[in-house]
Amino acid sequence: MLLTSRTRPSSVNNLAGEDSRLKTEKEASMPAHWNLKSIRCPPIQFCLKALCAIALGRPNLEYIWETFRTEEGFHARRRELNDRVSNVNFVAGLLLASEAAFVSTNSPLSSVINYNLRGAYILLLVSFGVTLGGLVVGAAVGYICTCADQGWLENTLIQSRLRIFCALVILGYPFLSIGASTACLAFALLVAAWNSNDPIVKYGAAILLLLPSCMSPLFIYTQLPWLFPGRYEKLSRESTFTSQNNERDLERDGNAGHELRLENEVHSRDNLT
């Protein structure tokens, strides 16, 4: 038991060293223009990480590089991307229908809320146009996802870092357009509600707008380890080291308790004899 408790930390360290070695080899085999850590400018690196998270659901390109090299992994990632784009296009279609209804009809109760005011109507038009553009781009991306092959992508979209940046912008544009159009639609209704004489409509619209807006900082807070991996990797290592020390202390206490029980059993046998 004592030997196990002494050798376990070394085995954990060996596994950590092996993972670090494999990660280093993986990054070494990845092309330089795929590695976002090699970018010296922090704002550009942050923008590329944000684009990767929006377009691919990952904070970097390492996972994509691992699966992209095999044909099976390429088809799996293409299906995932196609499903994601299809969901975004579905939401964009629903949003476009709602905006078209606002733009093409008058307010049923102008005394309560009038979204035909100049400011609110301009925001509705902007929201309609942004959603329509995002839906067109999303349809084009969905078409490309269904017919693109591995060789074509290697020779065109991902051949250089600038082309990767352009590809990420194209893939993330439908999602960004939905976010921008939803914000414009919400502010249009807020402007219309704020000009209402009804206090329930005025302050109720503000509350309804603030509630979903509070989800954005909460989500960003949960993604901080992705956005700033260096700082949180250090904290994770410190936490792992602390847990290993606690585990060793528990094992040492357990061994001491086991030895004490054995001694008590021996003494009880001696007393009986």
pLDDT single digits (tens) 60-96: 777 777 777 777 878 888 888 888 889 999 999 999 9
187 and 113 inside one domain: yes
The pLDDT score that the predictor gives to residue 134 is: 92
Query: Is the domain of 68 the same as that of 119?
Result: yes
> In terms of domains, do 43 and 165 share one?
yes
Q: Tell whether 167 and 96 lie within a shared domain.
A: yes
Residue 235 lies in a domain: yes
26, part of any domain: no
Residues 201 and 253 in one domain: no
Q: Are residues 60 and 191 in the same domain?
A: yes
**13 within a domain of the structure (yes/no):** no
Q: What crossing angle do the helices spanning 161-194 and 71-104 adopt, rounded to 10°?
A: 30
In terms of domains, do 247 and 185 share one?
A: no
Contact 177, 134 (CB under 8 A): yes
Residue 84 near residue 57 (C-beta atoms within 8 A): yes
21 lies in some domain = no
CB 82 within 8 A of CB 143: no
Domain annotation covers residue 27: no
What's the rounded Cα separation, in Å, for the pair 127 and 150? 36
pTM of structure:
0.66
Same domain, 54 and 115: yes
pLDDT of residue 251: 62
Q: What is the 8-class DSSP label of residue 234?
A: H
User: Which amino acid, 247?
Assistant: E
Domain shared by 194 and 239, yes or no: no
Q: Which domain holds residue 246?
A: 228-259
61 in a structural domain: yes
The answer to whether residue 3 sits within a structural domain is no
For residues 142 and 173, membership in a common domain is answered with yes
Residue pLDDT, tens place only, 86-102: 999 999 999 999 999 98
Domain annotation covers residue 22: no
Q: Are 85 and 160 in contact (CB under 8 A)?
A: no
The verdict on 56 and 123 lying in the same domain is yes
For the chain, what is the domain count?
A: 2
Parts of the chain with a pLDDT under 70 = 1-28, 157, 226-273
Same domain? For 52 and 84 the reply is yes
Among positive and negative, which fits the CA dihedral 74, 75, 76, 82? positive
What is residue 66's predicted lDDT score, i.e. its pLDDT?
73
| Residue 155 structure tokens | 């020779």
